[in-house]
Amino acid sequence: MSVHIDSNVTIEQAFQDFIASYPQYKATEMLDDIRAKDFKRLDNNGHTYLDFVGANIYPESLIREHQDFLLKDVYGNPHSANPTSSLATKHCDHARNYVKEYFNDADDDYDVVFTLNASGALKLIGEAYPFCPESTYVLLVDNHNSVNGIREFARCKNTNFKYAPVKDKTLQIDEEALEQILSDGQGKNKLFAYPAQSNFSGVKHSLDWIHKAQKNGWDVLLDAAAYVPTNQLDLSKHKPEFVSISFYKIFGYPTGIGCLLVKKSILSKMERPWFAGGTIELASVRGDGHFFAEDEEGYEDGTINFLNIPAVEMGLKFIKSIGIDNIQTRITSLADWVLKEILPLKHDNGVNLIELYGTEDLNNRGATLTFNICDQTGKTIFYEDVEEGANKLVISLRAGCFCNPGLSEIVGKFTEDVMRPVFECGEKVSYNEFVNSKKSDYVVGAIRASFGYVSNFKDAYTLVEFIKSYLNK
């Protein structure tokens, strides 16, 4: 059953209709209690927060728990035998083990390397993966720039890189093309990188590609940064060689910590280009040599974020206490309802209001809705203008290209003929100059609304009402 809002329908009535269509939402009411207790600042300040892919927001209780931890004892720089150092090491190791438990590394296949963020994890892979002229780097066209950037490490080592396509309309993997690319790939050290969930469109890409690629001799890099905040990644079922994650995207606090989950079995093949304090077993100035430390230690440059790492365990436990299934039920109900409300909207002259990017099917996409709003003539309203309208109503949306140029170019129909000259003309062009020079002829960028664990019906309703305010404009 679909639910309809019109201006005569109050939010209370709309909510009753919503519940009738999504009765499973009722089972997630504990999240309303959590919002009232742990996220008061959202409603106290009149926020409609719809940028959960950008960053999650933290519960008050997590800040208090972490503060209590910090105030309770003295924690020294880890990896020494003194009491305060040992204490810090103990808590960091505990958090490290909990990360493995959270992602169900039941077979103890993985090491957890703490990094600054997902990009830090991706950079570690790029610089240490043994690219050579005989290797290939294949990456999906739908990737965050921090995965795209690995191609520059490949290029430096004369490694070929190739983009695997997605389908123009649904933005899902072009399965036939990818099968072909993976079975054609020759040589040694072949790396295939893709996101479990697109940060642009919210489309989920099947985790079955991990095994399919591995069967063809590929090492797999799964960028899980946009996936794990609302989905359970089970490393006992899916075993990519590398997984990149940012913790603030899962529970909001602290920023500045991510991790690389790396299969132990691939570590011996990696070639770190430098060493730093904390990463070596032995290094010598006179002997001009170094031996790397084993396991994750060889990848954690300098002092780890030892005061904040224990909060990672607290945050993951908070998510576990809610349950990923409850989070899924809540956000999928809200996103599906919004989609059903906005997709049929038309101006009085019959022109569609919304252009949605990616599949409409919530089984294959997360609760991330990326779209543009069209005026009565069918022209796309520039994303910055929509964002400005939302800002005035204290609605936090994200607008632009979301660091995902591959999908931006598909959506905006930017061809190679248009893009290559921008980089070959010999003059540096800023993002704003580029956008301003193209926005009258192309669709540059989009609007992204993403739901998270504390989203509620009011957020969804406010978004729909905001979008409807563009009718007949």
145-182 residues labelled b (16+ CB within 10 A) or e (exposed): ebbbebbebbeeeebbbebbbbeeebbbbbeeebeebb
Least Å from the CB of residue 148 to ligand PLP: 10
| Residues forming beta bridges with residue 164, ordered by sequence position | 140
Tell whether residue 51 is a contact of ligand PLP (CB under 6 A): no
Task: Give the closest residue to 11 by CA, choosing from 367, 465, 468, 453.
Answer: 465
Structural contact between residues 417 and 431, judged by C-beta atoms closer than 8 angstroms: no
Tell whether residue 89 is a contact of ligand PLP (CB under 6 A): no
Nearer to ligand PLP, 226 or 395 (CB): 226
Tell whether residue 455 is a contact of ligand PLP (CB under 6 A): no
Least Å from the CB of residue 6 to ligand PLP: 35
Tell whether residue 450 is a contact of ligand PLP (CB under 6 A): no
Among 89, 136, 199, 332, binds ligand PLP (CB under 6 A): 199
Catalytic residue (choose from 132, 259, 401, 403): 403
* C-alpha span between 230 and 80 (Å, rounded): 37
Q: Is the peptide bond before 254 cis (omega within 30 degrees of 0)?
A: yes
* C-alpha span between 100 and 77 (Å, rounded): 23
Nearer to ligand PLP, 48 or 197 (CB): 197
Contact letters (x/-) for ligand PLP, 166-195, by CB under 6 A? -----------------------------x
Tell whether residue 56 is a contact of ligand PLP (CB under 6 A): no
Tell whether residue 201 is a contact of ligand PLP (CB under 6 A): no
**Piece of 38-46, 117-125, 375-383, 463-471 that binds ligand PLP (CB under 6 A):** 117-125
**Piece of 78-86, 221-229, 311-319, 413-421 that binds ligand PLP (CB under 6 A):** 221-229
Q: What is the three-class DSSP state of 266?
A: helix
Least Å from the CB of residue 259 to ligand PLP: 11
Region of 189 on the Ramachandran plot (φ > 0 left; ψ -120 to 50 alpha; else beta): left
List binders of ligand PLP among 223-242 (CB under 6 A).
223, 225-226
* C-alpha span between 322 and 426 (Å, rounded): 53
Q: What is the three-class DSSP state of 446?
A: strand
Tell whether residue 408 is a contact of ligand PLP (CB under 6 A): no
Least Å from the CB of residue 279 to ligand PLP: 21
* C-alpha span between 144 and 120 (Å, rounded): 13
Nearer to ligand PLP, 96 or 205 (CB): 205
Task: Give the closest residue to 271 by CA, choosing from 189, 149, 371, 365.
Answer: 189
Least Å from the CB of residue 124 to ligand PLP: 12
List binders of ligand PLP among 239-298 (CB under 6 A).
246, 258
Least Å from the CB of residue 246 to ligand PLP: 3
Nearer to ligand PLP, 53 or 386 (CB): 53
Region of 281 on the Ramachandran plot (φ > 0 left; ψ -120 to 50 alpha; else beta): alpha
403 catalytic per annotation: yes
Least Å from the CB of residue 248 to ligand PLP: 7
Least Å from the CB of residue 139 to ligand PLP: 12
Nearer to ligand PLP, 136 or 148 (CB): 148
* C-alpha span between 452 and 334 (Å, rounded): 10
Q: Where are the beta strands (DSSP E) in 84-229?
A: 110-115, 136-140, 160-164, 190-195, 218-223
CA atoms within 13 A on the CB side of 56: 27
Nearer to ligand PLP, 223 or 296 (CB): 223
Contact letters (x/-) for ligand PLP, 131-170, by CB under 6 A? -------------x-x------------------------
* C-alpha span between 127 and 163 (Å, rounded): 19
H or E element in which residue 124 lies:
helix 118-128
**Piece of 111-119, 296-304, 306-314, 451-459 that binds ligand PLP (CB under 6 A):** 111-119
* C-alpha span between 56 and 10 (Å, rounded): 29
Interface positions with ligand PLP (CB under 6 A)? 53, 117-119, 144, 146, 195, 199, 223, 225-226, 246, 258
Catalytic residues: 403
